[in-house]
Amino acid sequence: MDYIFIFEEFRFIMELLVAELILAEAFAKKRQEHARRTIVGFIIMLLIGVSFAWTHEDIYNFGFQFHMGEMLTCFWYVLLSLLSYVYLKLCYVITWSDVLFLGICGYAVQHMEYIAVNEVLARGIWTNLQEELWLYFIVCVLTCGLWYWFVMKIFSKALKECGGLIYEDKWKTVLYFLIMLLVVYCSSF
């Protein structure tokens, strides 16, 4: 098994959860036992995310038999992000509309950093970066930290002023966010 593949699976779910959590922390009311829920849920989500490194080849080969290897791989990442929405709902007292909004925003924030570091830097400019896992790790941590700090600098004040609610759960709002979520997923695969 390739260590870089394990790191990438770990990185995806970690960056996604951190992006969603920092946005939620800025406005959402915490549930009872928030710290325990957050830590235990985070660990469970990390284990689920990293498990793909050990099952990816089997999933891909199974799907390949039916010409669906890539589709099953995409489904995995969609499933992980949907599980992160349940995780947010278990940690915070927020509407499903807000969960979808945070999920869309968190995915977009994570994906922009991923594209900048993985696609542009590691595969385009600095092509041997991934060969040195420790250096790649440091670059990922620094760029992610700086990007997330920048995003929070822009949005934290506005989120805090929401008073625990950004969007009410109205069917049109939920439908709007589901359509937006579909667009985000389709444009990223």
pLDDT, one tens digit per residue, over 102-152 is 999 999 999 999 999 988 998 889 999 888 889 999 999 999 999 999 999
Contact 129, 136 (CB under 8 A): yes
Give me 26's structure tokens: 């800025």
For residues 122, 126, 131 and 135, what is the CA-based torsion angle, rounded to 10 degrees?
-90
pTM of the predicted model, to two decimals? 0.90
Give me 149's structure tokens: 């700090």
**Alpha carbon distance 11, 9 (integer Å):** 5
How many domains would you assign to the chain?
Answer: 1
Range of the domain at 98: 3-188
